[in-house]
Amino acid sequence: MGRCKACARSGPQISDKIGFCVRCLREKWPQLKAEIQKIHHQTRQAFGLPLAPPRAEDGLPCRLCHHFCRIPEGASGYCGVWWNEGGRLVGPNPKGARVSWYLDPLPTNCVADFVCPGGTGAGYPRYAHRPGPERGYANLAVFYEACNFNCLYCQNWHFKLSDRKALVPTQKMLEALKEHVSCICYFGGDPGPQAPHALSFSRKALTQRPGKILRICWETNGAENSPIIKEMMRLSLATGGCVKIDLKAYSTPVHEALCGVPNQMTLKNFALLAEMAQKRPEPPALVASTLLVPGYVDEEELEALAGFIAGLSRDIPWSLLAFYPTFYLDDLPTTSRRHAQLALAIARKHGLKRVNLGNRHLLSEAY
């Protein structure tokens, strides 16, 4: 049973790890921000990551994402994958990256499975091998081991334990591109900090498979520098793939409490990609997802997110995902059926046409 340190309210949907209820986060953010930052600093220190984006006056600038780090000599950027070594920015390059991968048989448990060619046959025959699910084919699931967020509930946090400078040869990835692979999905962590490598690999892969179906897809927090995420979308548009952006929360206080960073760039880029996605309505090129974190991604957050998406296009698919307690945010319950049904009702109220509820097996009856 958690208790809010600001208002003394208690309940199972208040995390002692965060220390505050969602209402106080939104209403008292100026007073609470420093304490929230302290929590995130502690969780990053445990893995030897920079506590905040570096801002060294004489540091090397990195322009890959919303942090626009200035990295001092001998240190890394916030993501932990780009380093200033001898006055040179060193990190992932066309020959290698901090990455792992596996072949995932289609259809798979993808955020966009309910609308993508691999799960539904959408875009057949140009973008899909079959008019229905692509059984017998596979997705090359590429996991990038770095992130420019600090989500307290990260499902894949184990990548933070790996060697931050060890790069895996790109040639090994190309060897994994078997004939039955019909899509590549970059996720993580997040592909953003290593986007130049992913873009380079995508072009090599497409050159290796001329005239064949090979969709390029991304699962990202959407905080890349806008020119980079636009190039990511261009590849998806051309190949029948999609960009899946995780809209973790709408209000800045809730987003910073959960993820340690603001979300202005994510919202800006989502709007930018919504406009680009109009060039190819089917299969949808932009997909939103939101994890239903009990007590924090509440009715107010969901109303704001649904209104934001619907204001851009009611045709944008939105996948609502049930939460599982893990990593530092392990003291909350799983998402309740009531919470999930509320989220679906809000999405429909705002006129969103394609809404999906994922991870249904995690739903609980309580709360």
CA 180, CA 29: separation in Å to the nearest integer? 51
User: 183 a known binding residue?
Assistant: no
Separate counts of helices (H) and strands (E) for the chain: 10, 16
Beta bridge partners of 356: 319
Q: Which two tokens stand for residue 272?
A: 């930018």
- From the list 335, 141, 150, the residue with the least C-alpha distance to 244 is 141
Helix ranges restricted to H, the chain: 22-27, 29-45, 117-120, 170-175, 195-208, 226-239, 252-259, 264-277, 299-312, 337-349
- In this structure, what DSSP letter does residue 281 have? -
User: 242 a known binding residue?
Assistant: no
User: 154 a known binding residue?
Assistant: yes
Please, what sign has the CA dihedral across residues 83, 89, 95, 97? Answer: positive
Please, what sign has the CA dihedral across residues 51, 53, 55, 58? Answer: positive
DSSP string, 243-267: EEEE---SSHHHHHHHHSS--HHHH
CA 343, CA 290: separation in Å to the nearest integer? 10
- From the list 144, 207, 205, the residue with the least C-alpha distance to 178 is 205
Calculate helix-pair angle for 337-349, 299-312, nearest 10 degrees.
Answer: 30
CA 152, CA 295: separation in Å to the nearest integer? 14
- Pick out the residues of the known binding site: 147, 151, 154
- Pick out the residues of the known binding site for [4Fe-4S] cluster: 147, 151, 154
